[in-house]
Amino acid sequence: MKKKTKASPAMNVDEYLASVPEQARVTLGRLRSTIKAAAPDAKEVISWRMPMYYHHGMLVGFAAFKDHLSFFPGSSVIKKHKVELKRYDTAKGTVRFPVNKPLPAALVKKLVKARIKENEARVQNKAK
């Protein structure tokens, strides 16, 4: 009996997206574009085997799972925007949503910009 081998982890976001089912790829591709538009200076990397964006520290990330997609804006942003996120399944730093019901671009941009402000404020406070 052959031992099942795990696929090697993606080395970049294009590889990551190529490895997920088509509908998830389309939805996450749009999410990626929205994040890049909201945070054009952020560095796109693979961390914890998923796409992440860094600007003065971790900003946000996303991932595809068997039954849902997740957006990771961090717990502080989720707390601050809990009213706007009430229709989504949230956990400490995660917003889960169905593959066929993407997060609205305006909401994603708002959450990304909130993370940018937090990270930039933290850097300024350290400099003082």
Instruction: Dump pLDDT digits (tens) for 60-101.
Output: 999 999 999 999 999 999 999 999 999 999 999 999 999 999
CA 92: distance to chain centroid?
14
What average pLDDT does the segment 23-37 reach?
A: 97
Using the predicted structure, report yes or no on whether residue 128 has a pLDDT greater than 80: no
Is the distance from CB of 53 to CB of 28 less than 8 angstroms?
no
Q: How far apart are alpha carbons 73 and 126 in whole angstroms?
A: 22
Confidence of residue 1 (pLDDT cuts 50, 70, 90): very low
Residue 47 Cα distances to 43, 69, 73, 105, 121, angstroms: 12, 17, 14, 23, 23
pLDDT at residue 4, rounded to an integer: 44
Q: What is the mean pLDDT of residues 32-47?
A: 97
- Name the pLDDT band for 126 (thresholds 50, 70, 90): confident
Q: What does the DSSP 8-state code read for residue 68?
A: -
pLDDT of residue 3: 47
Q: Output the pLDDT for position 101.
A: 92
13-127 maps to CATH 3.90.1150.10: no
Tokens of 125: 């406070």
Tokens of 97: 């949503």
Domain boundaries along the sequence of the chain: 13-127
Residue with the larger pLDDT of the pair 23 and 123: 23
Residue 60 near residue 111, CB atoms below 8 Å: yes
Read off the pLDDT band of 9 (50, 70, 90): confident
Give the pTM: 0.90
Q: What is the mean pLDDT of residues 112-128?
A: 91
First to last CA, the chain: 62
